[in-house]
Amino acid sequence: MRRREYLKTAGVGVAGLLTAGCLQVEDGEQTSTTAETTTTEGTTTGTTSESTEPLKIATYDSFFGDEGTAGRWLKDQWEADHDTEIEYTAPSNGINEFIQRKQQDAGIDADLFVGLNTPDLVRVDESLPDTDLFDGLRGDLDNDDDVKESLEVDPENRVVAYDTGYITPVYDSTEIEDPGTFDALLEPEYAGTLLAQNAQSSDPGLAFLLWTIHEKGPDGYLDYWEELLANDVRVLDDWQPAYNAFLEGERPMVVSYSTDQVYYNSEEELPHHQVSFLNDQGYANPETVGRFAGTDQPETAADFVDFVLTDEAQANVAVNNVQIPATTTASLPEGYAEYAKEPPEPVTFTYEELAGNLDEWTESWAQLVASN
């Protein structure tokens, strides 16, 4: 008898799973109020009162993962003074998820997106030519006058930078000397020394590629990379495996961030983590925040961004996120500023320079590397 029961239960399980607790039905009109983690069956209806609903911020995992992150600090400080709660989410494919949602009319269940860089913004606009994912947030801000000129990336004045990182090679000075220039990387003494990342899927990888295009020009960068590949550079999938291989002593140089020494500031560690500002530059990768068009609490969202741009928040976000502040007025704690290096000459591509070129540049580069 027990055996038969097992089979029956298993059979029922198949049908049961399909109907129990996994179906969501919503009114087609109310698409902006999906309840993403609920497992209840039924109709969700939305309300539009601005003060009671939490402010939903979509971002990346490490922005708010735990205590000591920039996101946590912002949430705690904000909630101490305001009635509105902050709720973070981290969609697994980042901004792409919202582009796809917009393309499919699937409704966007967030008010702000934190962590957008210039190439992301280009892709947003190229993928959504007829509709706006972000609205004109800048018009509603009061604190955005002090944002560094060099970090203004959006010609349409939608998004605003809240911090920036500089991509540079980090090298082990006990193994090799500072290459100093891009051309030096082609020399025999730097053969088999550099680890880079796939520009198609990794932010520092893309930044480094763009930096070489900035240096060598759209017509010259592929030749430069061909020589770089001939000098045995390796292109791994992401920053973490590349950096891990660097730590294991696999190669003495890795494409990383100029703030690396914040983590390795002891006397023994410092020689192993030297920042190389090639050609006295560093590629700036500003992180920006944008407000989703159609949010039902635009004012609260703008207030929050204004709060992020205050001097105190700027310093804390930069330190907790291990980046550099976006405003000219924010000052960093002394110990931190010493190790968070800034390049003599920050370079970056503007939105206009990337628009229309980004995908082709990356794909030609990737084809070159993969055919090698």
Partner 1 sequence: MDRVLGPAGREQLTRVTDWLSGAAGRLADDADRLVLPVVGTGTLLVLAVVFYYPVWTVFVEAFGDAAAPIRDVLESEFYVGAAHGLFAHPTQVPGDVLAWLASVRVHAGWTGRLPEVWVNYPTVRKGLFGFTAWQAFLSTLASVALGLPGAYVLARFEFPGRRTLKALTILPFVLPSIMVVAGFVATFGTNGTLNGVLTALGLEKVELLYTLKIVVLAHAFYNAPLVTRMVTSAWENVDASAVETARSLGASPLRAFKDVVAPQLLPALAASAVLTFVFTFMTFPIVLGLGGLQLATVEVWLYARVQQLDYETAAALATLETVVSLGLTYVYLRYEARRAGGGAGKPLPRDRLFDLDLTDLRSALVRAGIGVYGVVVVLVFLAPLVSMVLVSVGGLENPTLEWWRFLVERQAGSRTQPSVAVRNSLLFGVGALALALPMGVVIAAFSARGGRGRKVADAVLMAPIAVSGIVVGFGMLQSLVFGVELFGYRVSVVGAAVVVAAHAIAGYPFVVRNVTPMLAAVDDRLVESARALGASRARALYDVELPLVWPGVLAGAAFAFALSIGEFDATVLLAGENAYTMPVALKRFLVDRAAGPSVGPAAAMGTVLLVVTAASFVVIDRVGGRYRP
Per CB under 8 A, which of residues 20..49 are in contact with partner 1? 20-28, 31, 34, 36-39
String of DSSP letters for 318-354: HHHHTSEESBSS----HHHHHHS---SEEE---HHHH
Residue ranges in 110-169 that form contacts with partner 1 under rule CB under 8 A:
123, 127
Shortest Å distance, C-beta 70 to partner 1: 8
Interface pick for partner 1 out of 51, 201, 328, 331 (rule CB under 8 A): 201
Binding flag, residue 231, partner 1 (CB under 8 A): no
The torsion angle over the Cα atoms of residues 34, 77, 328 and 340, rounded to 10 degrees, is -90
For partner 1, give the closer residue by CB, 137 or 199: 199
Residue ranges in 286-325 that form contacts with partner 1 under rule CB under 8 A:
320-322
Strands 253-257 and 160-171: antiparallel
Shortest Å distance, C-beta 221 to partner 1: 16
Shortest Å distance, C-beta 91 to partner 1: 9
Interface pick for partner 1 out of 241, 271, 335, 356 (rule CB under 8 A): 241
Whole-number Å distance between alpha carbons of 222 and 212: 9
The interaxial angle of helices 70-81 and 311-321, nearest 10 deg, is: 150
For partner 1, give the closer residue by CB, 115 or 286: 115
Shortest Å distance, C-beta 139 to partner 1: 28
Shortest Å distance, C-beta 229 to partner 1: 8
Residue ranges in 204-223 that form contacts with partner 1 under rule CB under 8 A:
none
Interface pick for partner 1 out of 237, 280, 338, 345 (rule CB under 8 A): 237
Helix, coil or strand: residue 117: coil
CB burial of 18-29 (b: ≥16 within 10 Å; e: otherwise) equals eeeeeeeebeee
Q: How far is CA 146 from CA 155, 306, 340, 344, 347, in A?
A: 17, 11, 20, 20, 19
Binding flag, residue 17, partner 1 (CB under 8 A): yes
Interface pick for partner 1 out of 220, 249, 271, 333 (rule CB under 8 A): 249
Whole-number Å distance between alpha carbons of 178 and 117: 28
Pick the stretch among 50-58, 66-74, 138-146, 177-185 that binds partner 1 (CB under 8 A).
Answer: 66-74
Closest CA to 341 of 276, 285, 253: 276
Interface pick for partner 1 out of 176, 186, 222, 366 (rule CB under 8 A): 366
Q: How far is CA 269 from CA 85, 260, 335, in A?
A: 41, 11, 16
For partner 1, give the closer residue by CB, 247 or 270: 247
Binding flag, residue 56, partner 1 (CB under 8 A): no
Helix, coil or strand: residue 32: coil
Interface pick for partner 1 out of 42, 52, 61, 269 (rule CB under 8 A): 61
Largest CA distance in the chain: 80
Interface pick for partner 1 out of 306, 311, 353, 359 (rule CB under 8 A): 359
Structure tokens at 342: 């800034």
Shortest Å distance, C-beta 21 to partner 1: 5
Pick the stretch among 45-53, 256-264, 292-300, 345-353 that binds partner 1 (CB under 8 A).
Answer: 256-264
Interface pick for partner 1 out of 45, 68, 131, 174 (rule CB under 8 A): 68
Query: Other C-beta atoms within 10 Å of 129: how many?
Result: 6
